[in-house]
Amino acid sequence: MGACVQYASAAGSRVLLVHDASREASVLDCRGIAEAYDEEGIATIRTAYETDTLAASLSGVQLVVACDVTFNQADAIQLEQWVKRGGGLMATGRAAFGLESLLGLQTVYPQASSDVDKVRFVTQHPAAYGSYWSGPMMEAAIMPATHQAPVAELFYRDRQWPAFVAEPGVGQVLARWAGVGPDPTMFGAAIVAHQYGAGRTLYSGALLGAYANWEWPYSWRTVVASASQWLSEGRPWVSLGYWPNAHVAAFSWTGDTETHSMPTAVPAILAVFERLGLARFGTFYVTADGDAPGQGFYAGAQQYPDVIERIVEAGSEVAGHGDFHRAFAGESLATQRARISGMLVTLNGLLSAYGERVRGFRAPFLSQDFTTFQALTDMGLEYDSGDADVWVASTLPNDSDGIWQLPPTMPMDWHLFVEHDVSSRDATTIFLDKLEYVVARRGLFSWLHHPWVIEPELDVLQSVLAYAVERGDLWMARQDDILDWWIAREQLSPIEVETVGAELRIRLANVSATRAVAGASVWLSIPQSVVSPPEFSIDGQPNTPIIREHAGALFAVVVLPALAPQQSVSITMTLGQGIFADDFAN
């Protein structure tokens, strides 16, 4: 390869990211997009652009990502011919200059980034599946916007990064720029998809990677993942499953347990879990202390230690909801540490008899700040679940604040039943709609309830949980198990993919020196035209994949055996006749 490999390379990698090393925006865009591929377990080659070297770099590559970089004319011609033969191209920012017809554009021009602050998706398309949402939440706003997911918008708030507006030609507009402030004026096209010859292209006037490592860490990654898969249609797109054992998404029930109703409400909720066969499920965030029995509204483990014992005996998790039910935000580090320490003394005192301890926390009223995260880390807690998904624009676990976050899903029961007096039927519709939204992003549905709020609405709890269980493709789990899985998954290497004759060889390793990984899976997209799935073997042993339909695509999912520390595994896929068009089996 002529261009220098700056960061990482992987044998058999099929994604080439090209950036302009002299420009910060391009470097950052490349870094963020590469992190999206890291999340998917897809090995990438990152390269700084050097003129007249592109043709050599394209050999064996499945997808080119041009990160706000402009090519000279000779390289632009090479790229155009390569796409015409079946290659996939994702281009951002100024990469459109000189590639307009390849990208399905008439023209493209820079937009003063002070005039735009978000990208709004306007159509359903496989390249934007997880970004666009057409459920009831999009149609009628029952809830205030602050309680809803930013359904079809991705923010572009930090005005230092360039924005480009496209005038579409034959390409299809997936998203438009939207203006600053309450004015809903829509600007020109932001994201355009196009078919060119045998290949496909996607242009984004926003730098997709610019936010992937910043305040809104994950939402833009959804676009990178779904677009990459669409761009690769016709050739195998192999990625790492987000959840164990081929589950599409994760579902946890979490209950802020804080009032004198807990002696009746908690057993009623546990009975629902038991009826549905959920033996290890539910995380109760319990306040340590409250008002005296019969006095005041709040109560905790001090008042009802037997409730804590019932939770543990039922197989549910006990986590912390404060020493008392009072806000944490704004308190000093010393005070917050002392309050968490006091909470742990009470709760762990009750849990130790069962060999358990508190690992997670959620602040009363979701009132936490960065000091809280520091205090939690100092006191040895492992995760927080107070940074709502509508604030972080993420439905995945993330560690951007120094402690693992399991974002709770909004709206919660309190919003619907207490604040807005929504009917049981409408509440069920809203919850199911939000669940579909999270599943589209393969995220974590971390359902936030309060035993005292949901006790009169157990039918809603029962029906939504029953639906989730019956789907069969959701991982129903406690929050601590979700955390353990996510940390273990982080230990898996990028997937290496190699084609040899009619075989596709996939290799994956557990790079941890200490931790085993059980339930990992690789997802392989299959064109809809394929009637019978390809044959797989794992380390030479035949394996039957699980077939999943998701995000408008069909997947063969191979669940791997438990990987010991430092162990790697080889998966071989034998191609049937005519499974993949294009040049896959060359």
Residues at the interface with Zn ion (CB under 5 A):
256, 258, 364
Tokens of 534: 């390809």
CB of 246 or CB of 286, closer to Zn ion: 286
In angstroms, the CA 288 to CA 262 distance is 13
Q: Which residue has the tokens 């207490």?
A: 418
CB of 328 or CB of 431, closer to Zn ion: 328
Minimum distance from CB of 410 to Zn ion (Å)? 15
Give the residue closest to Zn ion by C-beta: 256
CB of 255 or CB of 545, closer to Zn ion: 255
Quote the crossing angle between the two packed helices 305-313 and 262-275, to the nearest 10°: 10
CB of 133 or CB of 361, closer to Zn ion: 361
Q: DSSP 3-state assignment of 467?
A: helix
In angstroms, the CA 404 to CA 157 distance is 24
Residue pair 473/438 in contact (Cβ under 8 Å)? The answer is no
Minimum distance from CB of 330 to Zn ion (Å)? 17
CB of 451 or CB of 519, closer to Zn ion: 451
Tokens of 541: 């042993």
Which residues are CB-contacts of 263 (< 8 A; sequence separation ≥ 6)?
Answer: 304, 306, 307
Residue pair 284/255 in contact (Cβ under 8 Å)? The answer is yes
Number of residues in the chain: 586
Minimum distance from CB of 253 to Zn ion (Å)? 15
CB of 258 or CB of 389, closer to Zn ion: 258
Minimum distance from CB of 150 to Zn ion (Å)? 25
Residue pair 393/216 in contact (Cβ under 8 Å)? The answer is yes
Quote the crossing angle between the two packed helices 305-313 and 333-351, to the nearest 10°: 70
In angstroms, the CA 586 to CA 104 distance is 28
In angstroms, the CA 280 to CA 40 distance is 28
Q: Could you give the C-alpha distances from 454 to 44, 59, 250, in angstroms and in order?
A: 47, 58, 21
Minimum distance from CB of 384 to Zn ion (Å)? 14
Minimum distance from CB of 256 to Zn ion (Å)? 4
CB of 233 or CB of 258, closer to Zn ion: 258
Half-sphere exposure in the Cβ direction for 455 (13 Å, CA): 16
CB of 419 or CB of 582, closer to Zn ion: 419
Give me the torsion for CA of 13, 16, 21, 26, rounded to 10°: -120
Minimum distance from CB of 216 to Zn ion (Å)? 26
Tokens of 335: 């005070």
Minimum distance from CB of 257 to Zn ion (Å)? 8
Tell me whether residue 562 is exposed, middle or buried, using C-beta atoms within 10 angstroms of its C-beta: 0 to 12, 13 to 18, 19 or more: exposed
CB of 104 or CB of 364, closer to Zn ion: 364
Minimum distance from CB of 454 to Zn ion (Å)? 13
